[in-house]
């Protein structure tokens, strides 16, 4: 909404600052962070009162979790999504359709995750949320709708193409298959972040790193001058998505204040599914789907560890890891929770730097 102040810049020249994406991205970051800092404690108290025993803990997990995490409220994603939505509505250009597509996916995935969390809290079992098929089906409807919209927003031909990093002109037009491919990316990103959210602070910092990275990618891809200089593909309008990424970083900082060990609240599927879906949608919109696999490599690793574990157990009856996702494997190996979290943060930073290098190495 504040973007509309640009219309008054003829009379008040200082209002012209609202025209700049960088300024509004900073404003969104600060707004989201302040909102979560201020509203965090009341929201946690309300959720604790409503949930009673809090998030159910896996009985087959590390025994330390049963002692230290039992009774901690979940659905902390409500704090994050509220801050992101408020900041986006205040600072983003409301006429930009990319903003509405990405925000729509974020809130829809958040609603799916919220209902899943609600079922788990009510039944007090960690594995009694949505049925897998119903959950994936709902996610697919949202993701396919978003990809159809993205295909209409971009340039004909290019909007349904897959661009390869490290190459200037290597682009493959996927045609109608783009919708299926893009939906797979969005659903995969959402569920990969969801699997990563298993230790205090483990998911939110890599999400912030990914959001920061894709905020930069969106800004550069949406700026014709920078895109031409870096020889990356120009996607008109995607620069505005940097504002949403800034909001995620700000809300993430606020949430981390309460999620730092020992956590006062868990993100839950409400937040992890929504934030993963959001990052996946931005990757599809900016034509950096492959870069997402690098920048979000930690999320990929967590998801692959679960797939390998399930496939191995069904085919051979043996487990590759002591427990999946892989962060629990390292817990079983004797790593402390802070060791795992901080080391995984370091991995996320390194992967993000490698992913961002694809913007220049062409």
Report residue 158's pLDDT band, with 50, 70 and 90 as the boundaries: confident
> Average pLDDT, stretch 276-302?
96
What is the structure's pLDDT at 7?
62
Place of tokens 């919209």: 149
Rounded to the nearest 10 degrees, the angle between the axes of helix 204-221 and helix 268-285 is 20
Rounded to the nearest 10 degrees, the angle between the axes of helix 268-285 and helix 97-123 is 160
What is the structure's pLDDT at 101?
97
Q: What is the pLDDT of residues 26-38, one digit of tens each?
A: 999 999 999 999 9
Tokens at 122, concatenated: 């009510």
What is the structure's pLDDT at 154?
83
Residue 330 lies in a domain: no
More confident site: 64 or 295: 295
> In the beta sheet, which residues pair with residue 163?
171
Question: Of the candidates 292, 274, 272, 296, which has an alpha carbon nearest to the alpha carbon of residue 283?
Answer: 292
> In the beta sheet, which residues pair with residue 161?
173
Angstrom CA distances, 338 to 169, 198, 202, 314, stand at 43, 12, 9, 32
> Average pLDDT, stretch 62-78?
71
> Average pLDDT, stretch 38-44?
92
What is the structure's pLDDT at 19?
86
What is the structure's pLDDT at 127?
58
> Average pLDDT, stretch 75-94?
95
Residue 9 lies in a domain: no
> Average pLDDT, stretch 39-61?
74
Give the max Cα distance, the chain.
Answer: 73
Place of tokens 């483990």: 202
Q: Is the pLDDT of residue 258 over 80?
A: yes
Q: What is the pLDDT of residues 280-291, one digit of tens each?
A: 999 999 999 999
The number of beta carbons lying within 10 Å of the beta carbon of residue 334 is 7
Place of tokens 């919708």: 179
Q: What is the pLDDT of residues 309-334, one digit of tens each?
A: 999 988 888 888 888 899 989 988 88
Q: Is the pLDDT of residue 128 over 70?
A: no
Residue 114 CB partners (closer than 8 Å, separation 6+): 75, 77, 78, 268, 269, 270
What is the structure's pLDDT at 167?
79
Min mean pLDDT across 11-25, 181-195, 298-312 is at 11-25
pTM of the model: 0.92
Domain span including residue 225: 28-163+170-286
Report residue 126's pLDDT band, with 50, 70 and 90 as the boundaries: low
Count of structural domains within the chain:
1
> Average pLDDT, stretch 211-223?
96
Residue 246 lies in a domain: yes
Residue 236 lies in a domain: yes
More confident site: 186 or 4: 186
> Average pLDDT, stretch 2-25?
78
CB 325 within 8 Å of CB 305: yes
Question: Of the candidates 145, 195, 180, 138, which has an alpha carbon nearest to the alpha carbon of residue 289?
Answer: 180
What is the structure's pLDDT at 137?
95
What is the structure's pLDDT at 296?
96
3-state secondary structure the chain: CHHHHHHHCCCCHHHHHHHCHHHHHHHHHHHHHHHHHHHHHHHHHHHHHHHCCCCCCCCCCCHHHHHHCCCCCCCCHHHHHHHHHHHHHHHCCCCCHHHHHHHHHHHHHHHHHHHHHHHHHHHCCCCCCCCHHHHHHHHHHHHHHHHHHHHHHCCCCCCCEEECCCCCCCEEECCCHHHHHHHHHHHHHHHHHHHHCCCCCCCHHHHHHHHHHHHHHHHHHCCHHHHHHHCCCCCCCHHHHHHHHHHHHHHHHHHHHHHCCCCCCCCHHHHHHHHHHHHHHHHHHCCCHHHHHHHCHHHHHHHHHHHHHHHHHHHHCCCCCCCCCHHHHHHHCCCCHHHHHHHHHHHHHHHHHHHHHCCCCC
> In the beta sheet, which residues pair with residue 171?
163
Q: How far apart are the first and last CA of the chain?
A: 38
Residue 62 lies in a domain: yes
What is the structure's pLDDT at 60?
54
Distance CA 108, CA 256 (A): 23
Distance CA 82, CA 2 (A): 18
The number of beta carbons lying within 10 Å of the beta carbon of residue 127 is 9
Residue 3 lies in a domain: no
Residue 248 lies in a domain: yes
CB 201 within 8 Å of CB 263: yes
């Amino acid at each position: 909404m504040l973007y509309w102040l640009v219309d008054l810049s003829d009379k008040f020249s200082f209002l012209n600052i609202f025209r700049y994406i960088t300024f509004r991205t900073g404003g969104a970051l600060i707004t989201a962070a302040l909102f979560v800092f201020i509203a965090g404690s009341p929201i946690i108290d309300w959720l604790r009162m409503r949930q009673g025993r809090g998030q159910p803990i896996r009985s087959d997990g590390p025994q330390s979790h049963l002692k230290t995490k039992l009774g901690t409220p979940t659905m902390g994603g409500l704090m994050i999504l509220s801050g992101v939505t408020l900041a986006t509505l205040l600072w983003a250009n409301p006429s930009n359709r990319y903003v509405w597509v990405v925000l729509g996916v974020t809130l829809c995935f958040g609603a799916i995750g919220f209902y899943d969390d609600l079922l788990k809290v009510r039944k007090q079992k960690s594995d009694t949320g949505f049925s897998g098929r119903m959950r994936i089906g709902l996610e697919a409807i949202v993701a396919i709708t978003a990809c159809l919209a993205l295909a209409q927003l971009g340039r004909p031909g290019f909007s349904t193409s897959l661009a390869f990093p490290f190459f200037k002109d290597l682009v493959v037009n996927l045609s109608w298959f783009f919708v299926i491919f893009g939906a797979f990316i969005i659903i995969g990103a959402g569920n990969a972040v969801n699997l990563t959210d298993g230790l205090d602070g483990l998911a939110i910092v890599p999400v912030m790193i990914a959001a920061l990275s894709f905020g930069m990618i969106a800004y550069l891809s949406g700026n014709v001058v920078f895109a031409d200089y870096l020889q990356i593909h120009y996607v008109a309008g995607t620069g505005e998505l940097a504002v949403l990424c800034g909001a995620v970083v700000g809300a993430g900082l606020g949430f981390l204040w309460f999620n730092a060990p020992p956590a006062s609240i868990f993100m839950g599927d409400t937040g992890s599914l929504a934030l993963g879906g959001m990052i996946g949608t931005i990757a599809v919109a900016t034509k950096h789907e492959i870069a997402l696999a690098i920048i979000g490599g930690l999320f990929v690793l967590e998801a692959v560890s679960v797939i390998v574990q399930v496939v191995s157990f069904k085919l051979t009856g043996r487990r590759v890891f002591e427990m999946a996702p892989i962060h629990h494997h390292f817990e079983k190996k004797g790593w402390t929770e802070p060791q795992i979290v901080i080391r995984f943060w370091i991995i996320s930073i390194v992967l993000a730097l490698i992913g961002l290098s694809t913007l220049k190495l062409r």
